[in-house]
Amino acid sequence: MTPDASRKIAEHVAAVRPEDIPQAALDAARRATLDTVGCMLAGVEAPGVDMLIDLARGWGGKAEASIVASGFAAPAPLAAWINGAAARALEIDDCTDFLPVHPSATIVPILLALAEARGGMSGRDFLVAAAIGQDLIIRLGMATRRDAIQTGRYNLFRIFGAAAAAAKALRLDADRTHNALGIAYSFMCGEGQSALDGALALRLTEGNSARGAIDAALLAEKGFTGARDYLLGRMGFFNAYEPDPVPGPLTENLGAYFWGEQLSIKPFAACRCNHAALGLILAQRREAGLDPKKIKAIRVTVAPGVFRLVGAQLDPRNDPPSQVAAQFSLSYTLAAALLRGDMFLKELAPAELMDPEIRGLAKRIEVVPDEAMVDAQFVIGRTAVEIDIEGEGKRRLAGFKPPGNPANPLDMMAVREKFDKCAAAVARPLPAASLKRLATLIDELETLPDAAALSRAIRG
């Protein structure tokens, strides 16, 4: 990684044309857009998001960008802030399995806000900007030596990819894009303690990055300047926050390959670290006649980093537990999936979180760490499940690529099914005709003349 990597990335972002993006990356961006809008529809009613909307209503300002399913519009940075928090709120947004990153929950809200606020953005422009931002977030994650699960620095670098998407949407030249990325450095934020504490602040981080990225790009558009060597300067990102980076991924094949193709779509409303075990357990329940009432005990073996994140039982001192705590408890999510046949939003309702049957089964599920489960190329590692069944003995299962991984993918039809589940899970769903229009606009996004139509459609 050369000292001018900061400049090379800015020049790349400004220069990329729609015809430069591989079709697979555009398809991945479109799939991620449908998935993220579904996450927003469900997340707008999640605890805490209503507080953000109340603040925005009180602040007022130009009604230039829609806030999802609210009938309300706000200044573009506020709309991105709220929609980003909603997209991340329920732990169902996309991610990568080889890194603990969640690219689209920040990027899609930015592009929706700018499409409506500024106009002139085609659906193809939207997808190009999304693909650029997703790619850069993943590249920065690959260049960071120690990941967020290890350090607790919750993907501080996401702001650079988000700002790149915003700069591309605003059609900034290389100089202004460079400034946008440098300004974004000053908006950088992210911490992992919220996940451990089950705090609502976990969902806010994505919204903060979306808001900061738009602010950075709009300031750069006006000529405001940012740090020049924001990556490798003496006090740049890598020296200040993530020393000893892995140099290759940041610029290798930049513009030739877009890493958004490797995004995973999450079928379950749980931390991605839980998905391999959930997939194994639900397949057994569905295909092998696994009766939850006959289960004596379950032992789940995971990598030590995964154990630290999701290995704990729900703390009985925190009853009722938060949704976040439940989603980061492998024992709870497995118990709910076994008893209900799914682990999605209904399984996070307050009555379910306190259900004695689910809680009783969860106590019989032990999660243990094992270094043998670590995989250098796969941050969530490997998973082994041992089920002790009354009258039968033990079944042993093992998994590597969880459902939704590019090697075990959800196609557009499956993502649409998840979108519909998200929309149906809220107390005030959008009308069926509005949901159909939303899905159709996203399906046709590559040929949509004006992406503002999609942004306006989310308002409800």
Q: Tell me, what CATH number does 277's domain have?
A: 3.30.1330.120
Angle of the 76-88 helix axis to the 23-43 helix axis, nearest 10? 90
Residues 173-185 have a mean pLDDT of 98
Rounded to an integer, what distance in angstroms lies between the CA atom of residue 166 and that of residue 171?
9
Does residue 404 lie within any of the structural domains? no
Does residue 381 lie within any of the structural domains? yes
Q: Is 88 helix (H, G, I), strand (E, B) or coil?
A: helix
Q: What residues are paired with 395 via a beta bridge?
A: 387
Q: Identify the pLDDT of residue 367.
A: 98
Residues 294 and 242 occupy one common structural domain: no
pLDDT surpasses 90 at 131: yes
Q: What residues are paired with 388 via a beta bridge?
A: 297, 394
Of 399, 433, 448, the one marking the end of a domain is 399
Residues 205-225 have a mean pLDDT of 97
Q: Label the pairing between strands 65-67 and 72-74.
A: antiparallel
Residues 24-53 have a mean pLDDT of 96
Residues 158 and 261 occupy one common structural domain: yes
Does residue 197 lie within any of the structural domains? yes
Residues 251 and 319 occupy one common structural domain: no
Residue 399: DSSP 8-state: E
Q: Which of 309, 272, 258 is nearest to 94 (CA)?
A: 272
Q: pLDDT tens across 293-308, in order?
A: 999 999 999 999 899 9
Residues 360-389 have a mean pLDDT of 94
Residues 342 and 377 occupy one common structural domain: yes
Does residue 227 lie within any of the structural domains? yes
pLDDT, averaged across the chain: 94
Q: Within 13 Å of residue 273, how many CA atoms lie on the same side as its CB?
A: 31
If one compares 198 and 421, the residue with the highest pLDDT of the two is 421
Range in 37-41, 94-98, 240-244, 428-432 with the lowest mean pLDDT: 428-432
- Per the CB < 8 A criterion, the answer to whether 24 and 261 are in contact is yes
Q: What is the DSSP string of 167-215?
A: HHHTT--HHHHHHHHHHHHTT----SHHHHHT-THHHHHHHHHHHHHHH
Q: What is the DSSP string of 423-441?
A: HHTSSSPPPHHHHHHHHHH
Residues 160 and 216 occupy one common structural domain: yes
Residues 50 and 99 occupy one common structural domain: yes
Residues 31 and 70 occupy one common structural domain: yes
Does residue 84 lie within any of the structural domains? yes
Residues 159-174 have a mean pLDDT of 98
Question: Whole domain around residue 368: which residue ranges?
Answer: 272-399
pLDDT surpasses 60 at 248: yes
Residue 356 structure tokens = 């004695």
Q: Which of 316, 314, 337 is nearest to 324 (CA)?
A: 314
What confidence tier does 321 reach under pLDDT thresholds 50, 70, 90?
confident
Residues 180-192 have a mean pLDDT of 95
Residues 262 and 371 occupy one common structural domain: no
Rounded to an integer, what distance in angstroms lies between the CA atom of residue 174 and that of residue 170?
12
Residue 366: DSSP 8-state: E
- What is the total count of domains within the chain? 2
Residues 263 and 315 occupy one common structural domain: no
Q: pLDDT tens across 2-35, in order?
A: 458 999 999 999 999 999 999 999 999 999 999 9
- Per the CB < 8 A criterion, the answer to whether 161 and 136 are in contact is yes
Residue 434 structure tokens = 């509005």
Residues 125 and 103 occupy one common structural domain: yes
CATH of the domain at 22: 1.10.4100.10
What confidence tier does 403 reach under pLDDT thresholds 50, 70, 90?
very high
Residues 450 and 332 occupy one common structural domain: no
What confidence tier does 1 reach under pLDDT thresholds 50, 70, 90?
very low
